[in-house]
Structure 1
Amino acid sequence: MNTIHLIQQAYKNFQNGNAGHAERSLKDILKSQPNNFDALHILGVICAATGQRDEAAQLFRQALALDGKNVSLHYKLARVQFESGEFEAALRAYEKIIALGYIKPEILLARTVALISLQRHPEALACIDQALAEWPEYADGWSHKGSILYQLGHVEDALACFDQALSLQPATADSWYKKSLALDKLKRYADALSNIDRALAIAPKTAIYLLDRAVILHKLERYAESLSDNETALTLAPENAEAWGDHGLTLSRMKRHQQALVSYQRALGLRADYADVLSNQSLSQLVLGQFEAGWQSYEYRWKKGNADFPRHTDIPLWLGRQVIRGKRILLWSEQGLGDTIQFCRYAALVAALGAEVVLEVDPALKTIAQTMGAFKVIAIGEEFPLVDYQTPLMSLPLAFKTDLATIPAPPFYFKADSGKKENWKNRQNFANGKLKIGLACSGNPGNTNDHRRSMPLQEFAPLLQLDGADFFLVQKDIREADRPYLLQAAKLRQVANDIADFDDTAAIVANLDLVISVDTSVAHLSGALGTPVWLLLPWVPDWRWQLDREDSPWYPSARLFRQEQAGDWQGVIERVTNALNDLG
């Protein structure tokens, strides 16, 4: 049998599933004929098909040395290089094909994808535009253009491209999926859901579609459905760390924290350094009172996808290991105002170790924080003296190995300015013997949990029917949606005009018998002042309030009223009203 027939037979063997036999036959030919183009070519194809990409690339290069203008070989070499992650080499191969005059949509698209893989998005956009200028009916081209625009942050333009792709090829699952991602980015979650449903109708067993549908349902707070989709995705892709992480997060939103920890562990078994999961895990550990593990995991908050930007990282970090007697240390605030109020109590513990403390806080907290003790308080952005160490405030529980039994919880640690306190008191009619109650219904609207923890001002209406109390709205910022009710709530006194910073709020709160507040900085301030505070909590509370208990180990003056089902503020207010009647 001559060489041509041997090569043809080897290829038939490969097609019939006997790749090993075909490979041996071709290698035998190449031993005696190392420059046999057809043998090099077919053996390269077999190696590529069997995952031997390096060998395939070498064989294709040898064949191209014999026929450098063979477009098919350049393309096969480019595919092998791309699949091996050699994007630069693949790009050069695609450009060689184009230089040889073979300018087809699929080649321009392949070059576009290589450029995308190299994060060279503007060049990729120019390349796909070249393809679409010649072939405007090229649906895949429109879909890829949409992907590039999405990566560049031009989401509305991306959406238009996905619509164009779908108008040309409506049965393409991936275009429906990509369109759903763009709608999700635009926070059009209901529309995103309907589009990903279209993708799943075409490709129902696609794990990534199910996983992202679960994410959209999670954002819509349809947690049971989200969990179901997530679990279906996990049957298809049980080794997907992201899916296990999302599964745990959804369980935590359902207040099933112990089960969430199991899912987080599955995710970490697949990806040990998964920062988002480690950070989310810490919140479930802390809410369950597992402080030792929780504080350790909480340090990953700096590495998660939406992490705050840390400051002062050029200064050595202190987490309790070094002796700091005689040293100067910077303690700096992070996250929200309530977090700063809660954790600045640790400044006194650090000072008790013999360190000179510099406490850096939000400018609105500078004056009130100065009432804590004999250490320097500065506002963020102000200059401070040279320090030996730095610690973010919310890492101090880790440094002090805080557990439930050792939470530093003095009766109060802030003091209101006596002059401001007296001045505000003199302008109010406090001679009627009634309870003086402060109310706060909302906090920072930028907080990711705001829609759960804040409530409409009108929810307080049943309280205002009580005759034995005067009510004061003690929050500085009033939401536009609450103003119509505020205008008609004659019994609710608005004091926002008296508030410039937390020093003013403290003077007002210090004159009150009770503060009733959602989970916001006013509640923390009241607890830090030792003023009785009734805290209104959503069904799934922030970790610091733990689960079920009616008191707080952080604030001795706090009493907790919890939703018994998600979104039910009316039930909370009813129990608060009954408790107020009991006081009267």
Structure 2
Amino acid sequence: MSENQAGIQQQLPVQAVLDPADALTYYKLGCTLQEQGRLTDALGSFCRALTLNPNYIQALCNLGVVLHKLGRSGEAIQCFQKALALESDSANSAKAILWYNLGSILLEVPRLSEAVAALRQAIALQPDLAEAYTHLGNGLLMLQRPSEAVAAQQQAIALQPDLSGAYSNLGNALQAQGKVADAIAAYNRAITLNSTDPDVYNNRAQALLLSGNLARGFAEYEWRTKLNWLRHFYEWFEDKPRWQGENFAGKRLLVYDEQGCGDAIQFCRYLPLVKARGGIVQFSTKQPLLRLFANFPGIDELVEHTEAGIARTQSDLTVPLMSLPHIFGTTLPTIPADIPYLTADRRSIELWRSKMNCAGTDLRVGLVWAGNPANVSGQIRTCGLQAMSPLACIPGVTFYSLQKGEASQEVHTPPSGMCLIDLTDDIGDFADTAALIMNLDLVISVDTAVAHLAGALGKPVWTLLPAANEWRWLLARNDSPWYPTMRLFRQSAPGDWSGVMTAVAQELRKWKEM
């Protein structure tokens, strides 16, 4: 029990402490503590109120909010579900807010179908609840239903024209449809209404990049460092001056990895340009990438990207890796795209060659069929191994799994007729993956780090993209200025992998016959 709670209890008569009527006292204390940001203490007060009165709907609601803020979303969901079960009035604004809160948390978990259903319940009870419409739109977008998402955001704006978040979310939905100019207009309106929200600037930056305006897009992409959900990438480096591109002769510059492994592979190409401007270049990156970058030109000192590793590193300046395109004024014609800019160890290549077990005349093709299942974008990029069944009937092709993680288990049930070899148990890091790729004729991959790696190695790679692809792949192109040996195969509609695979199978047949 906190000191505040003890103080309240001491002011009560002994017989009142267990009186259900005094649940209100603990509820009010919890609200005060919640307003002060003392969430753990507020949690205790609301729990005490509910011990005294288990059917206290307001306490359940506030407890759900606090649990959510403390990262205990599962328990928060249970609180709102119980509150809804207790709420007797089937049509009131209080119940609408309960459904809204439940839907909002389900959206973050994410349990998307349940979230959309809950938010629709909120709207049915309170049709003028603009925030419910904008959250509904976000859920629909994550379910790859962008047209419905646009309509929901437009309804939110109609109900509350000054709701800046709805304009930003509308921009996201329009961007997913490839309507970049309309998306930018929506972001502009959001910024007019709220000029301090870094999320909107970050969203607009990605729309600009998607449109091919790299100079302006990368300049605005600097707002990503102010996003709360990305802060952990940058907080270790805030005590050192930021490098702005000046000559740094006689100094140590720490360039640090951020975001995913694919980002590190894509943007490490700038490190030789950094080295040309001066002193010692240090590069911190994740453990699975360390061996891959061991002899990379432009890196003088390789640092494992851990808090301890960074703390031990003596540096004078720092810069995040993905700020380098802006510093070097990158445009589409000036992308540093000389390949290969990554290599694999020769002895490792030979070792992997001895494991291949492939007929000498067969085409050797690596496959990746899944992104990271822990986030929605990874799920959207995932096609699954069975979706690749059109490739199975092409004679004279031996396929090799490059898939890691949970989805790698699909290798045990490949499409009928597919000759698929799985050597991934021997892959310890990206250096191993690179050596295996060097023994392949082609890599076919959904949008993952492996596609970046194959492109950086200069190997032919066919990248399979969802309808709402990331900014780096631009719009309506089947090539990439970042990777000269890459071809892009795009969904024509959200979720339509069959059309993609039909096109890939046709092209693979042509290549086999060449």
TM-score greater than 0.5 by the shorter chain: yes
1:207 CA displacement: 2.0
Match of 1:254 among 177, 189, 211: 177
Q: Secondary structure at the match of 1:516?
A: strand
For 2:247 and 2:496, locate their aligned partners in 1 and report how far apart those are by CA, in whole Å: 49
1:431 CA displacement: 6.0
For 1:259 and 1:106, locate their aligned partners in 2 and report how far apart those are by CA, in whole Å: 50
State the identity as a percent: 34
1:149–1:158 Cα contact (<8 Å) kept: no
Task: Compute the TM-score of the two structures, normalised by the length of structure 1.
Answer: 0.76
Partner of 1:20: none
Q: 1:179 to 1:496 in 2, by over 3 A?
A: closer
Partner of 2:267: 343
Cα deviation, 1:454-488, whole Å, max 9, x if unaligned, reads: 22112222222212322222234462661442396
Q: 1:134 to 1:524 in 2, by over 3 A?
A: closer
1:336 CA displacement: 1.0
Q: 1:459 to 1:181 in 2, by over 3 A?
A: closer
* 2:316 aligned with 1:388: yes
Partner of 2:240: 315
Match of 2:194 among 241, 246, 271: 271
What is the number of residues matched between the two proteins? 487
1:177–1:209 Cα contact (<8 Å) kept: yes
Cα deviation, 1:150-177, whole Å, max 9, x if unaligned, reads: 4453314422442354136763433333
Q: 1:211 to 1:389 in 2, by over 3 A?
A: same
For 1:481 and 1:495, locate their aligned partners in 2 and report how far apart those are by CA, in whole Å: 12
Mapping of residues 545-560 of structure 1, within 5 Å: 545-560=473-488
Structure 1, 110-119 or 232-241: larger mean CA deviation: 110-119
Partner of 1:432: 360
Partner of 2:3: none
Q: 1:162 to 1:180 in 2, by over 3 A?
A: farther
Partner of 2:36: 118
For 1:155 and 1:529, locate their aligned partners in 2 and report how far apart those are by CA, in whole Å: 47
2:136–2:152 Cα contact (<8 Å) kept: yes
1:291 CA displacement: 1.1
1:517 CA displacement: 1.3
Mapping of residues 278-427 of structure 1, within 5 Å: 278-309=201-232, 310=234, 311-320=236-245, 322-373=246-297, 375-381=300-306, 382=309, 386-427=314-355
Q: Secondary structure at the match of 1:557?
A: strand
1:319–1:396 Cα contact (<8 Å) kept: no
2:144–2:494 Cα contact (<8 Å) kept: no
Gap regions ≥5 residues in structure 2: 1-7
2:215–2:330 Cα contact (<8 Å) kept: yes
2:389–2:415 Cα contact (<8 Å) kept: no
Cα deviation, 1:106-154, whole Å, max 9, x if unaligned, reads: 8876665444322344555566667667777765455445444444533
Partner of 2:83: 162
2:383–2:497 Cα contact (<8 Å) kept: yes
For 2:357 and 2:26, locate their aligned partners in 1 and report how far apart those are by CA, in whole Å: 78
Q: 1:161 to 1:144 in 2, by over 3 A?
A: farther
Q: Secondary structure at the match of 2:443?
A: strand
Partner of 1:574: 502
Mapping of residues 38-187 of structure 1, within 5 Å: 113-121=31-39, 124=42, 139-140=57-58, 142-152=60-70, 153=72, 154-167=75-88, 171=92, 172-187=95-110
RMSD: 3.1
* 2:451 aligned with 1:523: yes
Partner of 1:226: 149
Structure 1, 561-570 or 341-350: larger mean CA deviation: 561-570
For 2:338 and 2:475, locate their aligned partners in 1 and report how far apart those are by CA, in whole Å: 22
2:119–2:136 Cα contact (<8 Å) kept: yes
For 2:66 and 2:373, locate their aligned partners in 1 and report how far apart those are by CA, in whole Å: 32
Partner of 1:242: 165
Partner of 1:441: 369
Cα deviation, 1:161-201, whole Å, max 9, x if unaligned, reads: 42354136763433333343344455343333333333323
Partner of 2:403: 475
For 1:415 and 1:139, locate their aligned partners in 2 and report how far apart those are by CA, in whole Å: 62
For 1:263 and 1:420, locate their aligned partners in 2 and report how far apart those are by CA, in whole Å: 51
For 2:165 and 2:474, locate their aligned partners in 1 and report how far apart those are by CA, in whole Å: 26
For 1:431 and 1:182, locate their aligned partners in 2 and report how far apart those are by CA, in whole Å: 53
1:410 CA displacement: 0.6
For 1:434 and 1:496, locate their aligned partners in 2 and report how far apart those are by CA, in whole Å: 20
1:316 CA displacement: 1.4
Q: 1:182 to 1:159 in 2, by over 3 A?
A: farther
For 1:146 and 1:478, locate their aligned partners in 2 and report how far apart those are by CA, in whole Å: 32
* 2:433 aligned with 1:505: yes
Q: Secondary structure at the match of 2:480?
A: coil
1:275–1:301 Cα contact (<8 Å) kept: yes
Gap regions ≥5 residues in structure 1: 1-93
Which structure has more relative contact order (CA 8 Å, sep 6+)? It is 2
Q: 1:113 to 1:444 in 2, by over 3 A?
A: closer
For 1:323 and 1:201, locate their aligned partners in 2 and report how far apart those are by CA, in whole Å: 61
1:215–1:246 Cα contact (<8 Å) kept: yes
1:474–1:496 Cα contact (<8 Å) kept: yes
Q: Secondary structure at the match of 1:402?
A: coil
1:401 CA displacement: 0.8
Q: Secondary structure at the match of 2:492?
A: coil
Cα deviation, 1:203-225, whole Å, max 9, x if unaligned, reads: 21222232333333333333222
Q: 1:426 to 1:386 in 2, by over 3 A?
A: same
Q: Secondary structure at the match of 1:486?
A: coil
Q: 1:238 to 1:506 in 2, by over 3 A?
A: same
Cα deviation, 1:238-292, whole Å, max 9, x if unaligned, reads: 1111111111112122222221111111111111121111111111111111112
Q: Secondary structure at the match of 2:464?
A: strand
For 2:358 and 2:63, locate their aligned partners in 1 and report how far apart those are by CA, in whole Å: 68
For 1:143 and 1:209, locate their aligned partners in 2 and report how far apart those are by CA, in whole Å: 17
For 2:54 and 2:428, locate their aligned partners in 1 and report how far apart those are by CA, in whole Å: 60
1:377 CA displacement: 2.4
Partner of 2:472: 544
1:319–1:398 Cα contact (<8 Å) kept: no
